[in-house]
Structure 1
Amino acid sequence: MRMLLVDDDELFRDTLARGCRRLGHEVSTAASAAEALQQLREQALDACVLDLRLASGSSGLQLLPELLALQPSLQVLMLTGYSSIATAVEAIKRGAVNYLTKPVSAADVLRALEADPEQAEVSDSEVDALEDLTVNRVAWEHIQRVLLEENGNISATARRLGMHRRTLQRRLLKRPVPL
């Protein structure tokens, strides 16, 4: 498989690339949206592992349709350290084949890319976890949904939520509450 890893975290990107190469795959890397688009213009690829949050405020969700416009058959796996149901659903709607929360291994990435989305089943424990959401997790999910609706605009999201912009930024920097 020929794949592109797009992540602004150099250490994570290089470690994941080495792991995928050891498993026999051809890997290119990019640190930004511009680099990723340039790579796709220069070579045909089978898959792309795309970080949700890129440097300088770029969003993997915004980049995803551009990547698929260049190569419609590209399998895109969305990665994030800040998962939410809203971003997972949006990533799939925009064309991602799967969505994983960091940290992940090369084997996790390859399994997710090779998984048949039509065969995916939700286990009883996953359903129970969704039913037992804590108040903090529901708040996190709501913030993520509003942020998505406001196209990542922090100020507009803070206004809609009735909170100060800096307070919202601090909450967004924290790891999400586990399910």
Structure 2
Amino acid sequence: MARWEPHTKERLARAALELYGEHGYERTTVAQIAARAGLTERTYFRHFPDKREVLFDGSHSLETALGEAVAAAPADASPRAALAAGLDALGAAFEGARAHARRRQAVVAAQQELQERELIKLASLTRVLAGALRLRGVEEPRASLLAEAGAGVFKTAFTVWVGDERPEEASAEEVPLTALLREGLDTLGDALAHD
């Protein structure tokens, strides 16, 4: 095997997702993942600490995109508009990746350990969002409440996007995640305004 080959992390992630889909998460080993990618176990562990983290590798990038988008919202933007900018950034990060997200979500949904890790990831996004809102001058507890609401909108929209659960004629395949996020934020605003 060559000492270095391009796109190593991507190859490992693709191999892991394929094997998890074929054999299940629990029955797949790191050795199998590395072999499918044409790499060694040692190479795998240079990139990921265990077989779980290969599914959550993009978490830091999502957090960064979210925080930067909230910070980059115009200075006079309302907290809701800054939240919308953050959600737009999350939606954009998944653009063109719906098939991958659906396969990944099926693996996560089948394994409690992975579901717990997914909740940790969502909690981390919520913390980043609350922190970004506080940096914009949004005081507590409003910043935390907005961040929790934003995380709920993200979770719901993502579930619809990967699950094809949209009730209208247009399938979720045709609707970008960003549009579902905006729709969710609007729905939340309407629900709060009418109660």
Q: Identify, as 1 or 2, the structure richer in helix.
A: 2
TM-score after normalising by structure 1: 0.29
- Higher-RCO chain (CA-CA 8 Å, sequence separation at least 6): 2
More strand by share: 1
Q: Name the larger-Rg structure.
A: 2
